[in-house]
Amino acid sequence: MRRELVGLSSMATRPILAELCDRLRTARATPMRFESAGGVEAARRIREGARADLLVLADTAMRGLERDGHLLPGTLRPLWISQVVAAVPDGAPLPAFATVTDLRAALTSASRIAHSTGPSGTALLRLLRRLGLADALADRLVQAPPGVPAGALLASGRADLAFQQHSELMDLPGVTVLGPLPGDTALTSLFTAGVPRTAPAPDRSRAALDLLTSDTAKALARARGMRPAPGGS
């Protein structure tokens, strides 16, 4: 049997990639698996020379790695688009969440607001500045540790409102998803694949990119609350 391909990904895409690898192993005898970490941590590993056959991270992180010479040229492939959603602890009263006014009310009434170290957290902070709420809410923001879902802070009682990728919150125990952010406050993240320069077998890695944009992968992404990215095939 050929050597197993080992990829590195952020936490948001972990469920999709794990199921995809299981199916490929069964249906095609394709040995592949992904190790998942916080997006910042995964990018740091690649910058420090970690070996990986494939890499799946937020597009901004991937573009930065490509720019700095850590990816093989021409291997970037857009995969999936994910919505950022809001969530509250199970059993908590569900605030109205249909309009931007509702979002403002939910934010200003929350005692502790959890967000991630990844792209959803960065996007939320930009949104708070755009809404003029950054200063008023600064002392209420709680950043989850790298690799820990922001929703885990809801379940543990350390926050009463959280924002993160839908795929990371949808099946988390102790969490109720309110839905995507309303109107022009909606936040999305694009996840992209590529081949690191440290890949031991670049030709096999390039071939595996096609599996990440297959119909099977697209169906799994939809089931996890993402949608295929334009130009990803």
Q: What is the pLDDT of residue 27?
A: 66
Cβ atoms 162, 89 nearer than 8 A: no
Verify that 166 and 198 share a domain, yes or no.
no
Q: What is the pLDDT of residue 1?
A: 53
More confident residue, 172 or 125: 125
Percent of the chain with pLDDT over 70: 97
Cβ atoms 13, 167 nearer than 8 A: yes
> Helix or strand or coil: residue 9?
strand
Mean pLDDT of 94-101: 95
Which of these ranges, 45-54, 92-101, 113-122, 183-192, has the smallest mean pLDDT?
A: 113-122
Per DSSP (E only), the strands in 107-184 are: 113-115, 141-143, 161-165, 175-180
Verify that 117 and 38 share a domain, yes or no.
no
Q: What is the pLDDT of residue 66?
A: 97
Mean pLDDT of 154-173: 90
Whole-model pTM: value is 0.83
Kindly state the helix (H) or strand (E) to which residue 7 belongs, with its residue range: strand 5-10
The encoded tokens of residue 23 equal 């199916």
pLDDT surpassing 90 at residue 56: yes
Whether residue 126 lies inside any domain: the answer is yes
Verify that 101 and 168 share a domain, yes or no.
yes
Verify that 38 and 74 share a domain, yes or no.
yes
Averaged pLDDT of the chain: 91
Whether residue 170 lies inside any domain: the answer is yes
Q: Which domain holds residue 140?
A: 82-185
Q: What is the pLDDT of residue 224?
A: 85
How far from the centroid of its chain's Cα atoms is residue 86's Cα? 14
DSSP letter assigned to residue 150: T
Distance separating alpha carbons of residues 127 and 49, to the nearest angstrom: 34
Which of these ranges, 29-38, 89-98, 103-112, 123-132, has the smallest mean pLDDT?
A: 29-38
Whether residue 233 lies inside any domain: the answer is no
Distance separating alpha carbons of residues 190 and 188, to the nearest angstrom: 7
User: 191 pLDDT band (50/70/90 cuts)?
Assistant: very high
Q: The domain spanning residue 86 has which CATH number?
A: 3.40.190.10
Verify that 92 and 115 share a domain, yes or no.
yes
Verify that 27 and 95 share a domain, yes or no.
no
Q: What is the pLDDT of residue 233?
A: 54
Verify that 176 and 97 share a domain, yes or no.
yes
Verify that 105 and 159 share a domain, yes or no.
yes
Verify that 141 and 55 share a domain, yes or no.
no
The encoded tokens of residue 2 equal 């050929």
User: 232 pLDDT band (50/70/90 cuts)?
Assistant: low
pLDDT surpassing 80 at residue 35: yes
Verify that 93 and 70 share a domain, yes or no.
no
118-153 pLDDT per residue, tens: 788 889 999 999 999 999 999 999 999 877 889 899
The encoded tokens of residue 226 equal 């993402």
How many structural domains comprise the chain?
A: 2
Verify that 94 and 115 share a domain, yes or no.
yes
Q: What is the pLDDT of residue 26?
A: 74
Verify that 121 and 177 share a domain, yes or no.
yes
